[in-house]
Amino acid sequence: MPSYRSLDVADTLLTLLRDTTTEPRPDTQLEALTLAVAADLPVLLWGEPGIGKTAALTQLAEALDLPLTTVIASVHEPSDFSGLPVVGDDPAVQGVPMAPPDWAVRLVRTGRGLLFLDELSTAPPAVQAALLRLVLERRIGSLHLPPGVRIVAAANPRSSAADGWELSPPLANRFVHLQWAHDHEVVVRGLGGTWPRATLPRLAPEMAPEAVDFARRAVCGFLTARPGLVHRLPSSETRRGGPWPSPRSWEMTLRLIAFATAAGCSRDVLSLLVRGTVGDGPGLELLASLDRMDLPDPETLLADPAHAALPERGDLRQAVLDGVVEAVRTRPEKARWDAAWALLVRAVETGAPDLVVVPATTLATLRRADWDVPASIEKLAGTVSLSRRADHAAARSAATAKAAR
């Protein structure tokens, strides 16, 4: 009897320890995960052992009210994903069907769920090959997973995986890769009993047509300018096992941009998703291209320079001013030249003066002989003169240092 009473107390303690709650809390990586899940794209979480990948998926399934099915990829055979052949009465006539595993049958019967493929990086190449059809076509044997099933996988880097393998390029290119890291404050608060709550993004229905149009213009416009990035298989084995650009991953990126736009997600969330789909280099280039898509039209600014709204970020403001000068160069007229000077004055009054030095110098070279110099130039003279003196001083300093050597 005493032993049973001791176990009762132990069970009570365990129940109290499991009694946790959730709270709404900004979490960029969790928001990126839920958005990719909403977009029905396979997600692969990369993180060191014990970082909380499995716990995050368990909490996500509970928050989304989806039954969680966990499959440890490394302990299965290829036939567990491609199906086991079952010989019927007359195989010459009926063929040999591929019987799916029991967990796949349960998912189809339920019609919805979260399929969690754990330990993906410890699955041998043969198993990874068998997973290709599951991840892309959602087929297991003769079964087709219903639309209500979402797929999320987790993997440890090869350096910290038990008998780890690099992911094959075909399998890696089917996932949105998210680097999963712990947040000190989230862990401490979670151990105290309160974890962040995972919620699906709120998609604005009225934004859907605009979001799709924006995503298509963004990706198609970028790839038109950078055709070499349509398909670029990395040269190293390690990078091939991560995100890289291909027609498939660009299609995934387009979908993610549309979902992120409709949900009003932050730039940080979109950055995680885009870089996790086509890689850091192409992803950062695309993000910079997205910024330029939101820049004001130079012609609109030239039409009303007194009320022009210039970007706050220095790099975007520089791009706008360069675009204004280029517009004047394309169609040089006295009124447009004067308006450009007025815009440069407004830029000096509302931001960093050094950003106007190059545009002002270029704009000055566009002056025609019969154009009077506008009075507004006087307000820029000090800025340009100071910049030139600084350049001359830097050049003299460099020349002195070179002579000393």
Domain boundary among 253, 278, 293: 293
Which pLDDT value is given to residue 278? 97
Q: Is residue 352 in some structural domain?
A: yes
Domain boundary among 267, 293, 319: 293
Which pLDDT value is given to residue 52? 80
User: Which contacts qualify for 253-257: CB closer than 8 Å, 24 or more apart?
Assistant: 253/219, 253/277, 253/278, 253/286, 254/215, 254/216, 254/218, 254/219, 255/39, 255/41, 255/215, 256/35, 256/36, 256/39, 256/41, 256/176, 257/211, 257/214, 257/215, 257/218, 257/219, 257/290
Q: Is residue 4 in some structural domain?
A: no
Compute the distance between CA of residue 137 and CA of residue 145 in angstroms, rounded to an integer: 9
Which pLDDT value is given to residue 369? 85
Q: Is residue 172 in some structural domain?
A: yes
Compute the distance between CA of residue 303 and CA of residue 340 in angstroms, rounded to an integer: 10
Q: Are residues 28 and 169 in the same domain?
A: yes
Are 42 and 175 within 8 A, CB to CB? yes
Which pLDDT value is given to residue 390? 35
Q: Is residue 70 in some structural domain?
A: yes
Q: Is residue 137 in some structural domain?
A: yes
Which pLDDT value is given to residue 391? 40
Number of Cβ atoms within 10 Å of the Cβ of 151: 23
DSSP 8-state assignment for residue 375: G
CATH code of 192's domain: 3.40.50.300
Stretches in the chain below the pLDDT threshold 70: 1-4, 87-96, 158-164, 378-379, 381-405
Q: Is residue 266 in some structural domain?
A: yes
Q: Give residue 320's domain range.
A: 298-404
Q: Are residues 159 and 123 in the same domain?
A: yes
Q: Are residues 26 and 83 in the same domain?
A: yes
Q: Are residues 135 and 42 in the same domain?
A: yes
Compute the distance between CA of residue 14 and CA of residue 12 in angstroms, rounded to an integer: 5
Domain boundary among 274, 293, 312: 293
Are 167 and 121 within 8 A, CB to CB? yes
Q: Are residues 251 and 339 in the same domain?
A: no
Q: Please calculate the CA angle 67-72-76 and round it to the nearest 5 degrees.
A: 125
Q: Are residues 140 and 212 in the same domain?
A: no
Which pLDDT value is given to residue 179? 92
Are 51 and 182 within 8 A, CB to CB? yes
Q: Are residues 32 and 181 in the same domain?
A: yes
> How many Cα atoms occupy the beta-carbon half-sphere of 170 within 13 Å?
12
Which pLDDT value is given to residue 99? 78
Are 117 and 152 within 8 A, CB to CB? yes
Q: Is residue 10 in some structural domain?
A: no
Q: Are residues 313 and 171 in the same domain?
A: no
Are 4 and 171 within 8 A, CB to CB? no
Q: Is residue 1 in some structural domain?
A: no
**Count of structural domains within the chain:** 3
Q: Are residues 56 and 171 in the same domain?
A: yes
- Residue 138's nearest CA partner among 108, 170, 109 is 108
Residues across the chain: 405
Q: Are residues 123 and 271 in the same domain?
A: no
Q: Are residues 181 and 243 in the same domain?
A: no
Q: Are residues 142 and 59 in the same domain?
A: yes
